[in-house]
């Protein structure tokens, strides 16, 4: 029996994915649950297993192409069933021999076109299309083909029969777009907007058009925190744990969110209600070769600094290798992005919609400050807090920022283990 394996919905609201890499070839025998393809969906790469044991007789998408949920990925001849050599070559997406023969006939027509010098006088159409023309009382000699090499398609016959040939022709003309490799000043390179970058573009556009963005900026004197980190760092490194400042900031953010819940909220526009989240899932922005991913540290309020540090390393590694599970990219209530790890002091980050706020950390640097009327060199961490002004006001955002600042400047309350 021929089985059509359709691309399933493997995540929350997934509608399409991009083929990253096929792990099998046509004609190859596969076992049930054997991985057959890697597909990028909603920022993560998912490895899709075969639902059946049998022979792959048709792969319907190439690497880099987009497949929508419900479309057939591969056609499988199930185990212990005979399949002829001809069927393996010509079985179509739906596995019907009749349509496979039509494809074969169309390929023959294309070959004939390439061999003929004068194509204009040839009427190119498959038997299926000619039969449709007869049923609709259409003189196929008057129909203009819009397929490759001017082959007449079903739509050409149907539109002609409805008197829409002129509209069809105009539509086709509009669809033809000349793509230039240069502009007025010189040569250019076009890069398709797809995959992670496409998802980021869509999410950022939605966030910017929905939320009312305002950014509050401040800095924290983390001199004391730096001393604690340097003291604990060698001990934890022996356990394979990398202790970063981000671990402390996440813990400080959770404590501040508990006192200022409107920064751990979303806005339900349908019911006009502000939803205060009573759980604390912190998203951390990770820079990868494909774009920015945001893994989520779940129930961060129940974890100490050491556990958070472990999770940061594991999630960041999985994200950069594009092996992260989709569930690890969902459910965040507040997001932190460390701009300073790359460079920069302050920023105006875009909210990870539908969250109400996002915190950007700047580059830590030694700065002269006046302490007790004396100038001292202190370690300073700049930060920028962008919030949705629909959900909270500037005063609440400033109080939240002050709380984070207070905790980071007096870090003795933060438990390492």
CA-nearest of 20, 25, 71, 70 to 45 is 20
Per annotation, catalytic residue among 213, 216, 260, 389: 389
Cα 153 to Cα 125: distance, rounded to the nearest angstrom: 7
The answer to whether 386 touches 348, Cβ cutoff 8 Å, is yes
CA dist., res. 297 & res. 308, Å (int): 8
Contact (CB, 8 A) for 66 and 5: no
Task: Provide the angle, in degrees to the nearest 10, between the axes of the packed helices 154-161 and 165-175.
Answer: 140
Q: Which three-class secondary structure state does DSSP give residue 93?
A: coil
390 and 273 in contact (C-beta within 8 Å)? no
Is 389 annotated as catalytic?
Answer: yes
Q: Are strands 334-338 and 282-284 parallel, antiparallel or unpaired?
A: parallel
H, E, C per residue of 5-55: EECCCCCCCCCEEEEEEECCCCCCEECCCCEEEEEEECCEEEEEECCCCEE
Q: Which residues are catalytic?
A: 389
């Amino acid at each position: 029996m021929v089985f059509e394996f359709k691309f399933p919905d493997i995540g929350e609201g997934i509608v399409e994915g991009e083929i990253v890499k096929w792990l099998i070839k046509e004609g190859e025998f596969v076992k049930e649950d054997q991985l057959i393809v890697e597909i990028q969906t909603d920022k993560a790469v998912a490895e899709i297993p075969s639902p059946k044991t049998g022979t792959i007789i048709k792969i319907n998408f190439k690497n880099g192409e987009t497949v929508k949920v419900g479309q057939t990925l591969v056609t499988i001849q199930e185990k212990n069933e005979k399949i002829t050599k001809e069927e393996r070559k010509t079985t179509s997406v739906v596995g019907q021999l009749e349509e496979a023969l039509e494809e074969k006939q169309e390929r023959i027509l294309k070959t004939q076109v390439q061999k003929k010098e004068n194509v204009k006088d040839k009427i190119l159409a498959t038997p299926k299309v000619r039969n449709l023309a007869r049923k609709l009382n259409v003189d196929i000699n008057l129909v203009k083909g819009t397929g490759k090499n001017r082959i007449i398609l079903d739509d050409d016959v149907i539109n002609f029969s409805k008197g829409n040939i002129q509209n069809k022709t105009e539509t086709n003309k509009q669809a033809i777009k000349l793509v230039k490799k240069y502009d007025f000043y010189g040569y250019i390179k076009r890069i398709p907007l797809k995959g992670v970058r496409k998802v980021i573009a869509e999410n950022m556009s939605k966030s910017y058009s929905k939320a009312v963005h305002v950014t509050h900026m401040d800095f924290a004197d983390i001199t004391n925190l730096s001393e604690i980190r340097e003291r604990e760092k060698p001990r934890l490194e022996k356990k394979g744990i990398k202790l970063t400042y981000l671990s402390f900031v996440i813990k400080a953010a959770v404590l501040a969110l508990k006192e200022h819940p409107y920064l751990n909220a979303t806005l339900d526009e349908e019911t006009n209600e502000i939803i205060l989240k009573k759980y604390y899932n912190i998203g951390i922005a990770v820079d990868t070769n494909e774009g920015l991913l945001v893994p989520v540290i779940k129930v961060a309020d129940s974890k100490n600094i050491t556990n958070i540090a472990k999770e940061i390393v594991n999630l960041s590694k999985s994200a950069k290798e594009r092996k992260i599970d989709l569930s690890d990219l969902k459910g965040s209530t507040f997001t932190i992005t460390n701009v300073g790890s790359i460079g920069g002091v302050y920023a105006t980050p875009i909210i990870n919609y539908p969250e109400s706020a996002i915190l950007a950390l700047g580059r830590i640097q030694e700065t002269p400050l006046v302490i007790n009327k004396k100038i001292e060199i202190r370690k300073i961490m700049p930060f920028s807090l962008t919030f949705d002004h629909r959900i909270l006001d500037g005063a609440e955002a400033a109080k939240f920022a002050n709380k984070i600042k207070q905790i980071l400047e007096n870090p003795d309350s933060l438990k390492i283990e």
